[in-house]
Amino acid sequence: MTTSTISPKIIENFDLYAPKLVSKEEFFSPGHRACQGCAEALAIRLMCKALGRDTVITNATGCMEVISSLYPTTAWNLPWIHVAFPNAASVGSGVEAGLKALRRKGRIPDKRVKSVAIGGDGGTMDIGFQALSGAMERGHDLLYVCFDNEAYMNTGIQRSSGTPFLAATTTAPAGKVIPGNQVWKKNVMEIMVAHNLPYVATASPAYPIDFMNKVKKAREVNGPAYVHCLVTCPTGWRSPSDTAIQLGRLAWETGVFPIYEVEDGKYRYTLPVPEKRRPVEDYMKGQGRFRHVTPDQIKVIQERVDVEWEALRLKVENSQSRTEIRERLKK
């Protein structure tokens, strides 16, 4: 694991600090059936710690539902509902509306219970996309968290619109005809920002405190919020199971997956920005799904990452929040 971004002092006093930073209460319990080194299961566990008890989770079909709810067991220690592949955001918004109605009628205590919908990249960026857009546009008090492992992993590593360019999947195999996935990853963050949401963020369980802080912040928003969490998948990425955290860090250190937030329209990095980004090859070489990629193809990917990184940097540097803009226009 690279430790460049963790202060040595925190590592030295880890046992002292960790329990103060992270709740010991477990809402996603061990004993589930996730693969070894699954970053998605880790991210769910951290998300639940950040959300706390007063939460209802709506879970689209996908790896996390399959591994956590094998009859007659469950890993969930929170109210949890499994729904179809495309409609987590619809059900999550229904849960929110239902809780509101029950509170109004005095049928449940008058306290805030957060509705949180979760789905994989397929369930969010592809098949559940209209449900997500609708829920966000209607302005529900709903947090949606996408756990993006960059393919339909539960059903056998089929490509999704979250799959990176040239990654090999079972429906975009690398061979004589094509060198893996033929299109660039969809930038769903920008589409969420275009919905004018109060809070949108990217995150990774490789930076657990940053991720949990974002979930907490999104939970407090009284309205729609979206968190896009990149989760490494040793099975689908063909990477050793002990590199889940290392790869998560490399995704940020190379700029392949920028970690930032957009609050009220203002872009901000939330981690110390690397002075010099590492080459994308450092990220790709540990993953069998990119094994076939040639040096010339890596150059194309590097150029794309450089351009997207600069486009984001300009947004961080120049964007103003809607509140700031409103105030400026008043003057």
Query: Where along the sequence are the contacts to Mg ion (CB under 5 A)?
Result: 120-121, 149, 153
Taking the CA atoms of residue 102, residue 108, residue 110 and residue 114 in that order, the dihedral angle to the nearest 10 degrees is -70
> Which residue matches tokens 């949990």?
212
Selected range binding ligand TPP among 56-64, 185-193, 221-229, 243-251, rule: CB under 6 A:
56-64
Q: Binding of ligand TPP at residue 163 (CB under 6 A)?
A: no
Contacts of 178 (CB under 8 A, 6+ apart): 172
Q: Binding of ligand TPP at residue 120 (CB under 6 A)?
A: yes
> Which of Mg ion, ligand TPP, none lies near 265, with the C-beta cut-off 5 to 8 A by kind?
none
> Which of ligand TPP, Mg ion, none lies near 163, with the C-beta cut-off 5 to 8 A by kind?
none
* Nearest-approach distance from CB 309 to ligand TPP, in angstroms: 25
* Nearest-approach distance from CB 148 to ligand TPP, in angstroms: 8
Q: Binding of ligand TPP at residue 38 (CB under 6 A)?
A: no
Query: How far from the centroid of its chain's Cα atoms is residue 182's Cα?
Result: 23
Nearer to ligand TPP by Cβ, of 61 and 302: the residue is 61
Nearer to ligand TPP by Cβ, of 160 and 246: the residue is 160
CB 235 within 8 A of CB 301: no
Reference 173, options 161, 158, 186; nearest CA is 158
Residue 156 is classified by DSSP as T
Q: Binding of ligand TPP at residue 160 (CB under 6 A)?
A: yes
CB 240 within 8 A of CB 234: yes
* Nearest-approach distance from CB 228 to ligand TPP, in angstroms: 13
Taking the CA atoms of residue 69, residue 22, residue 123 and residue 202 in that order, the dihedral angle to the nearest 10 degrees is -170
Residue 158 is classified by DSSP as B
CB 34 within 8 A of CB 63: yes
- Cα 174 from Cα 309, distance rounded (Å): 27
Q: What is the contact mask toward ligand TPP in residues 132 to 151, using x (rule: CB under 6 A)?
A: -----------------x--
> Which of ligand TPP, Mg ion, none lies near 123, with the C-beta cut-off 5 to 8 A by kind?
ligand TPP
Nearer to ligand TPP by Cβ, of 94 and 162: the residue is 162
Q: Binding of ligand TPP at residue 155 (CB under 6 A)?
A: yes
* Nearest-approach distance from CB 124 to ligand TPP, in angstroms: 7
Nearer to Mg ion by Cβ, of 152 and 290: the residue is 152
Q: Binding of ligand TPP at residue 63 (CB under 6 A)?
A: yes
> Measured in Å, how far apart are the chain's first and last C-alpha atoms?
51
- Cα 256 from Cα 290, distance rounded (Å): 14
* Nearest-approach distance from CB 186 to ligand TPP, in angstroms: 13
Nearer to ligand TPP by Cβ, of 153 and 174: the residue is 153
> Which of Mg ion, ligand TPP, none lies near 203, with the C-beta cut-off 5 to 8 A by kind?
none
Residue of the chain from 37, 92, 123, 265 that contacts ligand TPP (CB under 6 A):
123
Reference 28, options 120, 131, 118; nearest CA is 118
220 three-state secondary structure: helix
Instruction: Give, for 279, the enclosing helix (H) or strand (E).
Output: none
The radius of gyration computed from the CA coordinates of the chain, to the nearest angstrom, equals 20
Residues engaged in binding ligand TPP (CB under 6 A): 40, 61-64, 84-86, 119-123, 149, 152-155, 160
